[in-house]
Amino acid sequence: MKKEINIGLVGYKFMGKAHSHAYKDVASFFKLKAKPVMKAICGRDEKQVKKFGKDFGWESYETSWERLVKREDIDVIDICTPGNLHKVIALSAAKEGKDIICEKPLANSLAEAKEMLRAVKRAGVKNMVAFNYRRVPAVCLAKKLIEEGKLGKIYHFRAVYLQDWIVSPDFPLVWRLKRELAGSGAHGDINSHIIDLSHYLIGEITEVVGMQETFIKKRPLPKEATGLKAKSTKRMGKVTVDDTTLFLARFKSGAVGSFEASRLASGRKNYNYFEVNGSKGSLFFNLERLNELYFYSQEDAGDTQGFKNILVTEESHPYISAWWPPGHIIGWEHTFVHEIYDFLQSIARDKTAEPSFAEGVRCQEVLSAVERSARGKRWVAVG
């Protein structure tokens, strides 16, 4: 068994930074069967990627992902690029026999996602979609309570993921607002997260009906490609993705669900909220207070019934024993450390990583069905 796993990461902006931080910290806090070696960071701008690599401790850098995936000293390819590059990088990496972790959503279309799944199956390589919110300890505790039957038969799953970072019409037309690069807007960007959480907690979605809207249809063109901080010009360009997507869902279990994603919800910064209602109780979670889980039980005495706020920082809670004493909260960045830990352990133990590309395809099937429903204004079967 290998004692080290050599990592090649493509992308050094938002997600590249989050993943780099995780590789840098994971072996310091978790006992690993095989430790990650930060072999190479890859990006198009040589000056920027070289500096990023030095700042985060990467041994080398590349300006071509094609060269990176062919390097014999690389075991894992980590894809943190815009969605339009996910498929081509993943297919090349699988062909070279590299294990792959890819940011969400898996691809810009269902067809692309299925092609990626076929490629990793054919190559027999480990694969994971980076749905990091499965790794929030409070979310893991919610799953445990549901599986133990503490909520009884599940009736409702309702979730919203709300942000406001593009609420100003003066915000420039960055890549996340272009369908050819991002695949979709709020739908793929943040609905994908709550869809995956529903799969993780409740199970398979079988049918959906949805609606989509783009409120700000034109935006200033950016002066330069500087990500979400781009400065704009007075020239305008067309927004080709949704600003918001809402849909209703039926689950295979018989439960029903509602989902809403918006990046124009003023005052909501990263409001990823879900609530589950069952015959014996309920629970709810809000990412902006990620160390807390609220739980209500019908089995409590009538005069003391009410939602109980559980501070999920005890050693008995998932992942927490690696961190701080009880009550010393963890943060958003820790979810990536947990994610990378689980992925590395799956490689070292030769186990299937979760969520795999197969689960990424399952999420993509829901995304696709909602878009078809919105166009046709009707209920659509998933898959």
Distance of CA 23 to the CA centre of its chain: 17
Two tokens, residue 18: 């989050």
Indicate left, alpha or beta for 208 from its phi (over 0: left) and psi (-120 to 50: alpha): beta
The single residue listed with the structure tokens 């979760």 is 354
- The pLDDT tens digits of the residues spanning 3-43 come to 999 999 999 999 999 999 999 999 999 999 999 999 999 99
Please report the sign of the dihedral spanned by the C-alpha atoms of residue 338, residue 344, residue 349, residue 350. positive
Is 137-289+291-330+361-376 in the same CATH topology as 4-132? Answer: no
| d(C-alpha 257, C-alpha 151), whole Å | 16
Give residue 227's pLDDT: 47
- The pLDDT tens digits of the residues spanning 192-217 come to 999 999 999 999 999 999 999 999 99
| d(C-alpha 68, C-alpha 16), whole Å | 15
Two tokens, residue 362: 């399952």
Considering only the C-alpha atoms of the chain, give the largest distance between any 2 of them, rounded to a whole number of Å.
66
Q: Are 371 and 198 in contact (CB under 8 A)?
A: no
Contacts of 204 (CB under 8 A, 6+ apart): 251, 252, 253, 362, 382
Residue 225 pLDDT class (50, 70, 90 cuts): very low
Percent of the chain at pLDDT > 70 equals 97
Q: Which residues pair with 157 in a beta bridge?
A: 257, 276
Q: Are 246 and 259 in contact (CB under 8 A)?
A: yes
Q: Which of 318, 188, 301 is nearest to 241 (CA)?
A: 188
Give residue 153's pLDDT: 98
Residue 146 pLDDT class (50, 70, 90 cuts): very high
Give residue 284's pLDDT: 98
- The pLDDT tens digits of the residues spanning 151-173 come to 999 999 999 999 999 999 999 99
Give residue 49's pLDDT: 98
CATH dotted code for 137-289+291-330+361-376: 3.30.360.10
CB half-sphere exposure, 10, CA atoms < 13 A: 26
Task: Look up residue 20 and give its amino acid.
Answer: S
| d(C-alpha 326, C-alpha 314), whole Å | 5
- The pLDDT tens digits of the residues spanning 303-358 come to 999 999 999 999 999 999 999 999 999 999 999 999 999 999 999 999 999 999 99
Q: Which of 35, 51, 55 is nearest to 43 (CA)?
A: 51
Give residue 226's pLDDT: 43
Instruction: Please list the alpha-helical segments (H only) found in 57-188.
Output: 65-70, 86-95, 110-123, 137-147, 179-182, 186
What is the total residue count of the chain? 383
Q: Are 287 and 271 in contact (CB under 8 A)?
A: yes
| Beta-strand relationship, 292-297 and 154-162 | unpaired
Q: What is the mean pLDDT of residues 52-69?
A: 98
Q: Are 6 and 73 in contact (CB under 8 A)?
A: yes
Residue 187: what are its φ and ψ, rounded to 5°? -60, -60
The region of weakest confidence among 125-134, 219-228, 233-242 is 219-228
Considering the chain, what is the average pLDDT of its residues?
96
Question: What secondary structure does DSSP assign to 253-268, as a single string?
Answer: TS-EEEEEEES--TT-
Q: What is the mean pLDDT of residues 249-267?
A: 98
At 210, is the secondary structure helix, strand, or coil? strand
End-to-end CA distance of the chain: 38
Q: Was domain 4-132 assigned CATH 3.30.750.24?
A: no
Q: What is the mean pLDDT of residues 73-84?
A: 98
Residue 72: what are its φ and ψ, rounded to 5°? -75, -15
DSSP letter for 126, please.
-
Domain ranges of the chain: 4-132, 137-289+291-330+361-376
Q: Are 131 and 104 in contact (CB under 8 A)?
A: yes
Burial of 88 per CB tally in 10 Å (0-12, 13-18, 19+): middle
Give residue 233's pLDDT: 59
Give residue 229's pLDDT: 53
